[in-house]
Structure 1
């Protein structure tokens, strides 16, 4: 019995050794090819970082053979292909990557990134929105969506995601604030109807309504869409507290009764007596109301402070109304060259209205 047991044990041991030696070369080969795959992947990434796109693509494709994570090689190869403008090939590699993994999230994010790089922003937005339904706090998806929505001009969607972008610190706070402000301004600029513009303005918070760029966008588009009373109210409230010549120019174009405009403008002039733009606008309003003396005074002072083609043309209009054709021609001539002085011919005597220079 003991002899039989010994023979049995020897047989089992021999069988185990036989199996071991049969499979040993395969294991060694597997380890060898796996090491080659890792080395090819590392060399491919290095070539990619150095801008050697063709070599990188070749090495990265080689690394996918016998790799435990071939999807990584395919995704990196897709980047190398994009760099060579091989668009179809790049997305073919991404398809291979997706077929090589059970979790396509990383592949989908890479696909979106490459879509954005190749101008397919709407496709990227659609996929990123689907990703964020399953992974609502994914930082890379949020970052890519901020890029795609900017590129595609989807300003409302951009504004919607920015609070989460800030909360998760996907982007620096000052950048989030800039993008928020920009998205609001673009929505105001692009509103197609008075009701749409009013709706956007209504949902803004108090702080946002105090931003000058926001106010100007609302006023400019509101003027085009005909909500004159609202634009006048917002513009005048702002100009009373924070005078701005760009907003003043928008306000000046409002079809409001000129006597009321002159009254409001002269109130501002008490606080802004040296503002050439305001003086020019008051001069224009007075011209339209046939207040000749006031018109001349405001326009001359504006020219003394800041000569401009527009103001010279208004001065020429004034001279035309007074029958002073030579003076009008001289003003028109200077409007073309925007001279720094106004030479007025009065009863055959030349009057030089050169602006005073600081000593």
Structure 2
């Protein structure tokens, strides 16, 4: 439609110019001594218009020629920038593909030709991460040093990445320093808190681990199961530093009830008390757990039986009295019957020991029950019965591949 309007307009203009030239019969005199020239006024107008057009095009050509070097430089810059953006994309793809050597190479190409500070920072981050993944720590540090020269608004990503890289390299002090720098920019940054939590675990600082775990749990940065594992690790680190049964008892009371009910932690506490030769306290904790239907497990009863010989006589008697209640609710627990038999045997209550051990065997024959009965009959002078159980022990051991 525009083309038609232009054609009609041009024809109309031509008609108007033709009519005007027939009406205008004047002329112009051009005087340049010693010359004098008369020309039609219409020709003068046309000549002036043509001169303007020619001058315009000449000036444009001169301008284009003058700008040519700058245009060439601009074209070259655009070409390099396009190549840099392509290299940056390739670096990112290669990094997530796990091709770290190519990722680093493409990132370097992007750094060399990139003008945008944001893109340069991204390329340096990829290069540093790729170098760290290849354990090339010298190059990693060079890339991180280049990030220092970038604006402050880009430093948070720098510090977080540096913390991750140094933590992966087991450089806990360097990683913690980077985390501290990141927290000065963003105090509650979740990713920085997670990195710090891993650092505190590596440095065996359980109090800091517990505090960070609660903070991350409240912000929904970790789930309840993750928090439970972190707490368990922290409690184990605290437990390893305790040197007496009294310290362990006081420490265990300070732990929340839900954590004291953790069977893994309870097993660790019992093992630590046994290592410190405080078997009575270990047995007390096991007895408390066995008295709770939700906490009682066959493994705990087995641990109690292993402690029987190292317990004090009063403690053994107290446990045997208390265990009568446990048997009421779990009469078919062969490991509990075995533990009671071992307690009675250590206490030299031969009749009780025999009844408990034989009841355990009637439910599930075990190598330990036969061995304890063999000991019992040897102690009471019944050599035949002792030999029979020793034979059963040997047979079961051979069947089990011992």
List aligned pairs for 1:23-38, cutoff 5 A: 23-38=70-85
**1:323 to 2:381 alignment:** yes
Could you tell me whether the CA contact under 8 Å between 1:44 and 1:57 is conserved in 2? yes
Q: What is the deviation of 1:76?
A: 0.7
Aligned to 2:301: 248
Matching residue within 51, 71, 87 for 2:121: 71
**1:186 to 2:233 alignment:** no
TM-score normalised to structure 1 length: 0.78
Change (3 A) 1:50 1:244: closer
Could you tell me whether the CA contact under 8 Å between 2:200 and 2:209 is conserved in 1? yes
**1:287 to 2:340 alignment:** no
Which stretch shows the higher mean deviation, 31-40 or 207-216?
207-216
Could you tell me whether the CA contact under 8 Å between 1:53 and 1:80 is conserved in 2? yes
**1:95 to 2:142 alignment:** no
Aligned to 2:133: 83
Could you tell me whether the CA contact under 8 Å between 1:149 and 1:158 is conserved in 2? yes
Distance in 2 separating the partners of 1:183 and 1:90: 31
List aligned pairs for 1:120-139, cutoff 5 A: 120-132=171-183, 134-139=185-190
Q: What is the deviation of 1:61?
A: 0.5
* SS of equivalent to 2:220: coil
Aligned to 1:104: 155
Could you tell me whether the CA contact under 8 Å between 1:60 and 1:76 is conserved in 2? yes
Any stretches of 5+ residues in structure 1 without a counterpart?
Answer: 1-12, 342-359
Distance in 1 separating the partners of 2:398 and 2:324: 26
Could you tell me whether the CA contact under 8 Å between 2:204 and 2:237 is conserved in 1? no
Superposed CA deviations along residues 45-104 of structure 1, whole A, max 9, x for unmatched, are 122222333222211111001422323212211222233332332232222233344443
Aligned to 1:8: none
Superposed CA deviations along residues 115-152 of structure 1, whole A, max 9, x for unmatched, are 23333345324432453355321121122233344455
Distance in 1 separating the partners of 2:247 and 2:185: 32
**1:311 to 2:369 alignment:** yes
**1:58 to 2:100 alignment:** no
Could you tell me whether the CA contact under 8 Å between 1:72 and 1:97 is conserved in 2? no
Matching residue within 316, 319, 328 for 1:270: 328
Change (3 A) 1:338 1:181: farther
Matching residue within 168, 172, 177 for 1:117: 168
Any stretches of 5+ residues in structure 2 without a counterpart?
Answer: 1-58
Distance in 1 separating the partners of 2:289 and 2:96: 52
Distance in 2 separating the partners of 1:50 and 1:161: 33
Could you tell me whether the CA contact under 8 Å between 1:165 and 1:176 is conserved in 2? no
Aligned to 1:41: 88
